[in-house]
Structure 1
Amino acid sequence: MVAIYLAIGLAFWSHAAAAAPELVSFSDARFAPGTIVVSNSQKRLYLVQRGGTALRYPVAVGKRGKAWTGRTFIRGMHVRPAWSPPAVVKRDLPHLPAVIPGGAANNPMGVAAMTLAGGEFAIHGTNRPGSIGRAVSYGCIRMQNRDIADLFRRVNVRTPVVAVN
């Protein structure tokens, strides 16, 4: 059993090694270092750093009428999580199973997910990398699997998350 968990962990972290977020200038005093800022209009996620910089990642955001703005924090961090479609997704896609196992090719959460407090949203990987840079989700923030693996190792539960237009 330990060998299985070790293999899963090594596969997950190998994605992180390949990631190279872009270091950019970021001087918005409203956001303290360590805060995740999601810009819906730019379709970018920023992890604010010290010294007026941030790590920038491309993301997919909520489609028209589904994108959210506001403040929350990371409630949970999960590697290869199972996924249960929320009621709104199930209503639009009734053919979906009640649960898609973690690691399954059709699991939309990708290699990792960080659930957000106060709702059914998460920042997660994706099995549809072509969706990155678009407004396509039901409110979740999708990242390339290598990028979510990188971000996952840089943040913790209770990390603040702010989504802006």
Structure 2
Amino acid sequence: MYSILINRAARKLTLYKDGKFFRQYTVAIGKPSTPTPVGNFRIINKAVNPGGPFGARWLGLSIRGYGIHGTNNPSSIGKAISNGCIRMHNRNVIELFNLVPIGTPVRIV
């Protein structure tokens, strides 16, 4: 079973498998005026090539309107620049998308 921890201060997404560290990725988070929400969520939907600024994959969270997704602006990764979503490099979000099922817990701190 997978779980995801997103550390906003470090701008890192850490993927755990069976409670043990598995992978880590640098991410972009929400800008100060539209911060990434803190709390415990789940992945509730997934989409391939969702279009627009969402890059190659979308993993929707159980808080309406927020998700983990790719980007058409790779230079934004590592910055506080989004409207609250978590952005990843497309190659990384494709890897994550292929690993985690709907229902995966996501904790944002």
The interval holding the TM-score normalised by the smaller chain is: over 0.9
Q: Which amino acid aligns with 1:119?
A: R
Q: Which amino acid aligns with 1:49?
A: K
Question: Following TM superposition, by how much is the alpha carbon of 1:34 offset from its aligned partner in structure 2, in angstroms?
Answer: 1.1
1:57-68 equivalences in 2 (<5 Å): 57-65=25-33, 66-68=35-37
Instruction: Kindly report the root-mean-square deviation, in angstroms, between the aligned alpha carbons of the 2 structures.
Output: 1.3
In 2, Cα distance between the equivalents of 1:133 and 1:158?
A: 26
The aligned residue for residue 41 of structure 2 is 72
**Which has more strand, going by share of residues?**
2
Specify every segment of 5 or more residues in structure 1 that has no aligned partner in the other structure, as ranges.
1-32, 82-101
Q: How many residues align?
A: 108
Highest Rg: 1 or 2? 1
The aligned residue for residue 2 of structure 2 is 34
The reply to whether residue 126 of structure 1 matches residue 71 of structure 2 is yes
Q: Secondary structure at the match of 1:118?
A: coil
Q: TM-score, normalised by structure 1?
A: 0.62
In 1, Cα distance between the equivalents of 2:77 and 2:3?
A: 21
Question: Following TM superposition, by how much is the alpha carbon of 1:51 offset from its aligned partner in structure 2, in angstroms?
Answer: 6.7
Which segments of structure 1 move beyond 3 Å, counting only runs of 4 or more?
none
The aligned residue for residue 93 of structure 2 is 148
**Which has more helix, going by share of residues?**
1
In 2, Cα distance between the equivalents of 1:157 and 1:137?
A: 23
1:4-153 equivalences in 2 (<5 Å): 34-50=2-18, 52-65=20-33, 66-81=35-50, 102=51, 107-153=52-98
Specify every segment of 5 or more residues in structure 2 that has no aligned partner in the other structure, as ranges.
none
Deviations 1:25-50 (A, max 9, x none): xxxxxxxx511111100101011124
Q: TM-score, normalised by structure 2?
A: 0.93
Question: Following TM superposition, by how much is the alpha carbon of 1:149 offset from its aligned partner in structure 2, in angstroms?
Answer: 0.3
Q: Secondary structure at the match of 2:93?
A: helix
Q: Secondary structure at the match of 2:53?
A: coil
In 2, Cα distance between the equivalents of 1:54 and 1:131?
A: 24
In 1, Cα distance between the equivalents of 2:42 and 2:19?
A: 23
